[in-house]
Amino acid sequence: MRATLKDIAEAVGVSIVTVSKVMRGHGDIGQETRKKVLDKAKELNFRPNLAARSLVTGKSSIVGLVVPDLLHPYFVEIAKSLAATLRKNGYYLMLSSSEEDPRMEEQEVEHLLALRLDALVVASCAPTVPKLFGDIQDQGTPLVLLDRSFEGFRCNFIGSDNAQMGHLATRHLFSLKRKRIAHIRGPENSIGRGRFEGYLKAFEEEGLEPNPKYVVGTSTVDVDSTVQGRDAMKRLLSLKPRPDAVFCYSDPIAIGAMDAIVDAGLRIPEDIAVVGCGNLHYDEHLRVPLTSVDQGSTRIGVRAAKMLLSILDSKAAPSGKPTIRRTIEPAEIVIRESTRR
């Protein structure tokens, strides 16, 4: 049977209250007593019953994170830095994937809420704001939207300036004297629209009209991204004249696009220059290192954790109407061989 607080208390010769205070980190217990309790707890393989504790304290010390894909390096890097920052402050991350399915996203969120977590972070794949998100806010559970926001929905948010990302990428390709610049688009959400708007703005600044044939979409962006990028690039290569540059919605899509270009016997960047988005950790180790727009995934994870901690602290203190927090991380382009002459 699992050891209990009572077992530790009897073995050490102190009260259950004293053992409980030691386990919760109270500072009014002497060092000698604390050491005896902790040593005995380790000897008995004691593990706190967090579910029981949360019923008493109203706090689980758990933060939930739901992302579209657990394989996408962008979300992995965010989860890693988010978890590390929360851990330093006594909170732990529970991670889940929606597999780019809005119905599964709702199920995963409901499951996490049933665990009485303290806060929730969601990179939503839903095309419109789910009613569930409004219900969560009404119930008082802190909610932070990550990477993807919904127009008209007031909610804590942290993400990138997607219009700036699209603009930086396309302006860089124009600086290389490329004119037939294609774009492999993302989904019809705030991210995909923002990056496309930045692409269009760069054309406007050049006094040029983008060729609509050079803009192609993908059916999914976080699942099988490389395959989607390869297929989209094959469609672009069939055009006459073919593009001389391509700005891709994400790095995995760009990697698929580069595979298609090389398979067609073309050179990168001499024949077609390629820019991705995300600046993921493997970009410089590719056969042709990828130029990419850095959206600061590690910084976003750290900032998301600090935002959550601030929200949880303000929730613990008496206050009026909660403040909506919004953080936009600036982007910068990292130039590598896929655009370097």
The CATH number that applies at residue 19 is: 1.10.260.40
- Whole-angstrom distance, CA of residue 327 vs CA of residue 301: 12
Name residue 331's amino acid.
Answer: A
pLDDT in tens, 135-172: 998 888 999 999 888 988 999 999 999 999 999 999 99
- Token pair 């739901």 is found at 66
Residues 170, 247, single domain; the answer is: yes
Residues of the chain with pLDDT under 70: 1, 24, 48-59, 219-223, 315-322
Residues 151, 200, single domain; the answer is: no
Residue 323's pLDDT is 79
Residue 27's pLDDT is 74
**326 located within any domain:** yes
**73 located within any domain:** yes
Helix boundaries (H) for the chain: 5-12, 16-23, 31-43, 50-57, 73-87, 102-114, 131-138, 162-175, 190-206, 225-237, 251-263, 297-316
pLDDT in tens, 276-326: 999 987 777 788 999 999 988 999 999 999 999 999 888 654 455 567 899
Residue 20's pLDDT is 81
**309 located within any domain:** yes
Residues 285, 171, single domain; the answer is: yes
Residues 126, 107, single domain; the answer is: yes
- Whole-angstrom distance, CA of residue 92 vs CA of residue 279: 27
Question: Could you list the residue range(s) of the whole structural domain that residue 77 is in?
Answer: 57-160+298-330
pTM surpassing 0.85? no
Residue 46's pLDDT is 82
Residues 302, 156, single domain; the answer is: yes
